[in-house]
């Protein structure tokens, strides 16, 4: 992974650089204490991940992220700040960041977040390979199917499960359904896993974990900001709202069990959303 660091505090930059090097997470290919001057350099160097401070004297982090995202959507951003105001955090996510880390910097948290985002980037590359293979096999319908797979990947990104191994298993099921023009998941999960995997039990466990992780993530988004666009879109479509609410109450400690997932509902609505 290639990293670029942006913070008006040089000490913070050095701390982040040391963490990245010590944990062997990748290479720092540049840094800047000026959020205006660094934009062109970031676009030229094309790092995989940019770690940026939220509050900068020249241009705030959200503005920097938004400007770079408008020119290169593939660059990923992690925002770091001691400010935890919900409106500012929501603004940062709307601008296009993947994760938010609170200051003071915690080495374990930084390492875990970077590793998770690196897994997401690797998974996206795998998705692109799958898309290319699927388009090659799809004949005249390739463009539509490619768009659907892209939309499925976009949903995973919003749910924060791109890095989950089970997400790839869900894609395989969706790919099978699209290829065979199947509109509804009218299978037993084990039966479809047996068609697509040499180890159907492991595949079923992975995809259920990925779908459940998405439920947990969307519940946490709702707790943070009930009017969040992602929460409003997916909490009562790809998931059942009653189960999302149950998971939110479980996270808050208000009940002993969390929400439940429905593989059928998830995949049926995933296919439906992919057509939009």
- Dmax over CA atoms of the chain, in Å, equals 58
Task: Please enumerate, as own/partner, the contacts of 98-102 that have beta carbons within 8 Å and a separation of 24 or more.
Answer: none
Which pLDDT value is given to residue 142? 47
SS3 at position 100: strand
Residue entry with tokens 């998931």:
239
What's the token pair of residue 106? 């915690």
Domains (ranges, CATH) in the chain? 2-105 (3.40.50.2300), 119-274 (no CATH)
Between the alpha carbon of residue 258 and those of residues 143, 187, 221, 248, the distances in Å are 39, 25, 15, 8
Question: Under a CB-based contact definition with an 8 Å cutoff, are residues 66 and 96 in contact?
Answer: yes
* C-alpha to C-alpha distance for 136 and 146, rounded to whole angstroms: 10
Low-confidence ranges of the chain (pLDDT < 70): 126-144, 276
* C-alpha to C-alpha distance for 207 and 193, rounded to whole angstroms: 10
Which pLDDT value is given to residue 127? 64
Q: What is 178-194 written as a DSSP string?
A: HHTT--S--S-HHHHHH
Neighbours of 133 (CB within 10 A): 11
How many helices, marked H, and strands, marked E, lie in the chain?
12, 5
């Amino acid at each position: 992974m290639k990293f670029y660091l942006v913070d008006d505090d040089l000490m913070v930059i050095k701390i982040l650089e040391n963490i990245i090097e010590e944990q062997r997470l990748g290479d720092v290919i540049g840094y800047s204490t000026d959020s205006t001057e660094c934009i062109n350099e970031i676009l030229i160097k094309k790092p995989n991940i940019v770690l940026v401070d939220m509050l900068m004297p020249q241009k705030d982090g959200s503005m920097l992220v938004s400007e770079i995202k408008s020119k290169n959507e593939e660059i990923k951003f992690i925002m770091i700040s001691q400010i935890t105001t919900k409106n500012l955090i929501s603004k940062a996510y709307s601008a296009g960041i993947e994760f938010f880390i609170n200051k003071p910097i915690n080495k374990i948290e930084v390492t875990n977040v970077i590793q998770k985002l690196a897994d997401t980037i690797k998974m996206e590359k795998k998705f692109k390979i799958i898309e290319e293979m699927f388009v090659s096999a799809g004949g005249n319908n390739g463009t539509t199917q490619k768009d659907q797979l892209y939309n499925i990947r976009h949903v995973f990104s919003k749910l924060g499960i791109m890095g989950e191994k089970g997400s790839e298993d869900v894609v395989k099921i969706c790919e099978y359904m699209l290829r065979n023009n199947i509109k509804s998941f009218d299978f037993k999960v084990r039966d479809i896993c047996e068609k697509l995997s040499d180890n159907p039990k492991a595949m079923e466990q992975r995809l259920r974990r990925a779908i459940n992780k998405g439920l947990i993530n969307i519940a946490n988004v709702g707790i943070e900001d009930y009017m969040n666009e992602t929460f409003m879109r997916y909490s009562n479509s790809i998931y059942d709202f009653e189960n999302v609410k149950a998971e939110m109450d479980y996270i808050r400690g208000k009940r002993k069990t969390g929400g439940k997932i429905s593989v059928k509902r998830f995949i049926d609505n995933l296919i439906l959303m992919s057509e939009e």
